[in-house]
Amino acid sequence: MKKVLWWVWIVLNFIFGLSLGALLIGGYFGVNVLLPVILAAIFFGGVHFLIWFLMYKNRKQKSWQLYRKFLLGTQLVVLLFIGSVCLVQRYEFTNQPQLTQNRIQTFHQMWKAIDQAYPYFNEKHINWDSVYQEFEPKVISAETDEEFYIVIAEMMTNLKDAHSQLQSPQYEQPVFATVKSMGGIPVLDMVGRSAQAAGLSQGLVLLAVEGVLVEDAINLIHLDVDNAATEHAQRIRKMENLLSLPQDEKPLTITVLNQDGNPQEIVIKKLPPVEGNTTSDFPIEPPVVTWKKMENNIGLIHVSRLWNRQGEDLINQFDTALAALMDTQGLVLDLRGNGGGNSIFADQIAGRFISEPFVYGYEEYPVRLYTRGFRKTTSYQVQPRGETYRGELVVLTDEYVMSSAEWLVGALKDSGRAITIGRTTSGSTGNPIRFYLPGGGWVRYSTAAFYRPNGTMVEGIGYMPDISLNWTVEEYLSGNDPDLQAALQSLK
């Protein structure tokens, strides 16, 4: 029995050595090449295995018994050190576990966490100390969690970062319809059931909300949706929420330009939810991937997001679509409106279009966090996956493309595999983490600065298209798609 326990212990130490080697080389020293990490892990694992095997062979000798106690003590110190750092970081940067419900103490800790981990202070010319001085008195004056959340939401807008914002359990505003800017003119885009019942339809020009002109109403949008890295992205986020359902669910009065070109006042009343769709005023969302074969042997694939709903398999849907279009001479990959999600999905999609590995960017971290293996930087590389599509490729982009969807654009654009058509992407990357607050809310904040291979930062800049186009309201209403038409023209 003792022999068996010894061998179990030896194997466990081999695993410990493997993990330690991978953590040191692949984590702390940031080696991105897999082979050196594997070799280092095997070396550390082998050393631990050999030492403990020798301990086992010489277990009855007193000198080796002393060595064993020393080694056990050393390993225990290493484990305690790594574990302590992980626990301390988890508390400092995420407030887990929450040791206090005191709002003032939580504010101090949150400010300090962001001060250490946020990557864009210099680039955005943010004086975080001044932000502290401005908002500490407001936090002290807050008497409820809701008042506290309002202060924190306002504070976070100073970062001008779509990945850095408050999520409050008290604040959730569904919308009757979304509003889109077409050549600077606000028009209705997605129209929900309640808005349809009131007589609204896609393409109507919005003039006012509750008697307030649109431009003034935009400036009154709740702070929770104000954050974005660029001015055009801030405007987009605000416009999407212009027709939010009032929190007391009272009717919403708006003014639109009707089909006759005259102002018309319309009152929207919330309809009861329909069975099977109790959380949204909109119809059930179509599949995440849609596709079709067009004239002149051109394929079209639209990917609306990079995350799965329950029961979905985005990559399987994409692979199915691409398989049906493998014999086309050219392909249009439509990413417009894609707000991102999972960067792994972005890499898997990009991997179907390249034949050689390509490093499309890297991140730098102000703080070596345990969740990233204590790395200071990470390179992102897309690997070929499955059968490579070798036809010409055009990617459609707009200002709604952000986060990991921008990484997908970057991988295909900077590798030279595709040309891009449309509008500049949102310019929003950050690899955020959550900091939990009293009362069930949380703040998420960026912790990584992402750079293109040439060293250009993406945050606040985005990816400019190779061919830049802007839509008119007339084109939008007629169903004409200038982006797609330009893509088809380039693929002829």
User: What DSSP assignment string belongs to 83-137?
Assistant: HHHHHHHHHHHH--S-----HHHHHHHHHHHHHHH-S-HHHHT--HHHHHHHHHH
Contact 275, 210 (CB under 8 A): no
CA nearest 405: which of 265, 259, 306? 306
Number of Cβ within 10 Å of residue 411's Cβ equals 26
Specify the pLDDT at position 419: 97
Percent helix, strand and coil across the chain, each to the nearest 5: 40, 20, 40
**Given this chain, do its domains 175-268 and 289-427+462-490 carry the same CATH topology?**
no
Number of Cβ within 10 Å of residue 263's Cβ equals 11
Regions of the chain with pLDDT less than 70: 1, 170-173, 183, 222-233, 245-248, 274-285, 477
Fold of 289-427+462-490: 2-enoyl-CoA Hydratase; Chain A, domain 1 (3.90.226)
**Cα(489)–Cα(396) distance, integer angstroms:** 13
Contact 375, 345 (CB under 8 A): no
CA nearest 403: which of 341, 350, 345? 341
Residue found by looking up tokens 């800049």 in the block? 461
Model pTM above 0.85: no
Phi, psi of 255 (to 5 degrees): -125, 130
Q: Any idea how long the chain is?
A: 492
Type of residue numbered 248:
D
Is domain 175-268 annotated with CATH 3.40.50.300? Answer: no
CA nearest 199: which of 245, 265, 248? 265
Greatest pairwise CA separation for the chain in angstroms: 99
138: three-class secondary structure by DSSP = helix
Question: What are the residue ranges spanned by the domains of the chain?
Answer: 2-93, 175-268, 289-427+462-490
Contact 182, 398 (CB under 8 A): no
